[in-house]
Structure 1
Amino acid sequence: MKTAAVIGAGIAGIATSIRLANKGYEVHVFEANTYPGGKLSSFELNGYRFDAGPSLFTMPQLVDELFRLSGKDPKAYFDYIRLEEVCRYFWDDGVRLTAHADQQKFAQALEQTLGVPAQDVLEHLDDSALKYDVTEKLFLHRSLHKLGTYFNRDALKGYANLHRLDAFTTMNRANERRFSNPRVVQLFNRYATYNGSNPYETPATMNIIPHLEYNIGAFFPKKGMVDITDSLVKLAQDLGVTFHFGTKVTNILTEDNQVKGLQLTNNGKVEERTFDVVVSNMDVVNTFRKLLPNARQPERILRQPKSSSALIFYWGVKKQFNELELHNIFFSNDYRTEFEHLFQKKTIYSDPTVYINITSKYKPDDAPAGGENWFVMVNAPNNEGQDWDALIAQTREAIVQKLSHNLGVNLAELIECEAILDPRTIESKTSSSQGALYGNSSNNRFAAFLRHANFSRQFKNLYFVGGSVHPGGGIPLAILSAKIATAEL
Structure 2
Amino acid sequence: MPEPNASIASATAPRIGIIGSGIAGLAAAVRLRLEGAHVEVFEAADTPGGKLGELVLGEYRFGIGPSLLTMPQYIDELFTLAGETPADHFRYQRLETVCRYAWEDGIWLDASGDPETFAHEVERVLGVPAQRVLNTLAHGAEKYRLTGHTFLEKSLHSPKTWLTPEVGHALTRLHRLDLTRTLHQVHERDLGEAHLVQLFDRFATYNGSNPYRAPGLLSMIAHFEHGAGAFVPEGGIPAIGRALYDLAQRVGVIFHFNTPVAEILTRPGRQRPRAVGLRLADDRQVLLDRVVSNMDVFFTHERLLPNAPAPTRVLAREKSTSALIFYWGVDKPFPELDVHNILFSVDYPAEFAALEAGTLCDDPTVYISISSRYDQSAAPAHGENWFVMINAPCAAPHQDWEALIQRTRERVIDKIERMLSRRRGQAVALRDMIAEEAVFDPTTIEASTLSHQGALYGTSSNDRMAAFMRHPNHSRHVDGLYFCGGSVHPGGGLPLCLLSAKIMTRVMAQREPWPHNVPSSHDISFSNNAPSSHKDDA
TM-score by length of 2: 0.89
Partner of 1:421: 440
Report whether the alignment pairs 1:272 with 2:291. Answer: no
Alpha-carbon distance in structure 2 between the residues aligned to 1:43 and 1:119: 43
SS at match of 2:275: strand
Out of 277, 280, 286, which is 1:261 matched to?
A: 277
Q: CA deviation at 1:156?
A: 1.6
Q: Contact 2:308/2:478 (CA < 8 Å) preserved in 1?
A: no
Alpha-carbon distance in structure 2 between the residues aligned to 1:32 and 1:426: 16
Q: CA deviation at 1:163?
A: 2.2
SS at match of 2:41: strand
Q: Contact 1:97/1:109 (CA < 8 Å) preserved in 2?
A: yes
Gaps of at least 5 residues in structure 2 are 1-12, 422-427, 510-538
Q: Contact 2:201/2:211 (CA < 8 Å) preserved in 1?
A: yes
Report whether the alignment pairs 1:129 with 2:127. Answer: no
Partner of 2:322: 309
Out of 29, 47, 50, which is 1:35 matched to?
A: 47
Deviations 1:52-81 (A, max 9, x none): 110010000000001101111111110000
Alpha-carbon distance in structure 1 between the residues aligned to 2:149 and 2:169: 10
Partner of 1:473: 492
Counterparts in 2 of 1:11-26, with a 5 A limit? Answer: 11-26=23-38
Q: Contact 1:307/1:436 (CA < 8 Å) preserved in 2?
A: yes
Out of 481, 501, 514, which is 1:482 matched to?
A: 501
Q: Contact 2:310/2:477 (CA < 8 Å) preserved in 1?
A: no
Tell me the amino acid that sits aligned with residue 462 of structure 1. Answer: L
Alpha-carbon distance in structure 2 between the residues aligned to 1:223 and 1:254: 41
SS at match of 1:444: coil
Counterparts in 2 of 1:453-464, with a 5 A limit? Answer: 453-464=472-483
What's the % identity of the aligned pairs? 52
Between 1:312-321 and 1:289-298, the stretch displaced more is 289-298
SS at match of 1:157: helix
Alpha-carbon distance in structure 2 between the residues aligned to 1:423 and 1:50: 18
Alpha-carbon distance in structure 2 between the residues aligned to 1:156 and 1:40: 38
SS at match of 1:382: coil
Tell me the amino acid that sits aligned with residue 405 of structure 1. Answer: R
SS at match of 1:420: strand
Out of 47, 52, 63, which is 2:59 matched to?
A: 47
Alpha-carbon distance in structure 2 between the residues aligned to 1:297 and 1:241: 30
Partner of 2:517: none
Alpha-carbon distance in structure 2 between the residues aligned to 1:321 and 1:170: 37
Deviations 1:332-365 (A, max 9, x none): 000000000011x111111000000001111111
Q: Contact 2:21/2:48 (CA < 8 Å) preserved in 1?
A: yes
Q: CA deviation at 1:463?
A: 0.3
Deviations 1:366-420 (A, max 9, x none): 1101100000000000001210011011110011000011112110000001011
Alpha-carbon distance in structure 1 between the residues aligned to 2:494 and 2:179: 24
Partner of 2:471: 452
Alpha-carbon distance in structure 2 between the residues aligned to 1:191 and 1:330: 14
Partner of 2:519: none
Out of 97, 100, 117, which is 1:88 matched to?
A: 100
Counterparts in 2 of 1:62-461, with a 5 A limit? Answer: 62-256=74-268, 257-265=273-281, 269-343=282-356, 345-385=357-397, 386-408=399-421, 409-461=428-480
Q: CA deviation at 1:459?
A: 2.1
Alpha-carbon distance in structure 2 between the residues aligned to 1:43 and 1:430: 14
Q: CA deviation at 1:242?
A: 1.4
Q: CA deviation at 1:457?
A: 2.1
Q: CA deviation at 1:144?
A: 0.3
Deviations 1:196-255 (A, max 9, x none): 000000001110101001110000001100011000000001111111111111110001
Tell me the amino acid that sits aligned with residue 123 of structure 1. Answer: N
Alpha-carbon distance in structure 1 between the residues aligned to 2:261 and 2:138: 46
Alpha-carbon distance in structure 1 between the residues aligned to 2:167 and 2:179: 17
Deviations 1:62-119 (A, max 9, x none): 0000110111111111000011111001112211101111211111111111111111
Alpha-carbon distance in structure 2 between the residues aligned to 1:201 and 1:2: 44
Q: Contact 1:258/1:461 (CA < 8 Å) preserved in 2?
A: yes
Q: Contact 2:326/2:389 (CA < 8 Å) preserved in 1?
A: yes
Between 1:31-40 and 1:70-79, the stretch displaced more is 31-40
Q: CA deviation at 1:124?
A: 0.4
SS at match of 1:270: coil
Alpha-carbon distance in structure 2 between the residues aligned to 1:38 and 1:374: 21
Q: Contact 1:138/1:158 (CA < 8 Å) preserved in 2?
A: no
Tell me the amino acid that sits aligned with residue 42 of structure 1. Answer: E
Deviations 1:425-477 (A, max 9, x none): 11011111111000011101100011111011222211010111111110000
Alpha-carbon distance in structure 2 between the residues aligned to 1:159 and 1:65: 30
Alpha-carbon distance in structure 2 between the residues aligned to 1:465 and 1:145: 14
Alpha-carbon distance in structure 1 between the residues aligned to 2:86 and 2:224: 21
Partner of 2:70: 58
Alpha-carbon distance in structure 2 between the residues aligned to 1:33 and 1:178: 47
Alpha-carbon distance in structure 2 between the residues aligned to 1:143 and 1:102: 32
Partner of 2:520: none
Q: CA deviation at 1:2?
A: 2.2
Tell me the amino acid that sits aligned with residue 416 of structure 2. Answer: L
SS at match of 2:179: coil
> What is the CA RMSD across the aligned residues, in angstroms?
0.9
Tell me the amino acid that sits aligned with residue 426 of structure 1. Answer: I
SS at match of 2:307: coil
Tell me the amino acid that sits aligned with residue 37 of structure 2. Answer: Y
SS at match of 2:122: helix
Alpha-carbon distance in structure 2 between the residues aligned to 1:98 and 1:223: 24
Q: Which runs of 4+ in 1 moved over 4 A?
A: none
Between 1:412-421 and 1:454-463, the stretch displaced more is 454-463
Q: Contact 1:314/1:418 (CA < 8 Å) preserved in 2?
A: yes
Deviations 1:244-267 (A, max 9, x none): 1111111100011211100112xx
Q: Contact 1:143/1:149 (CA < 8 Å) preserved in 2?
A: yes
Q: CA deviation at 1:180?
A: 2.0
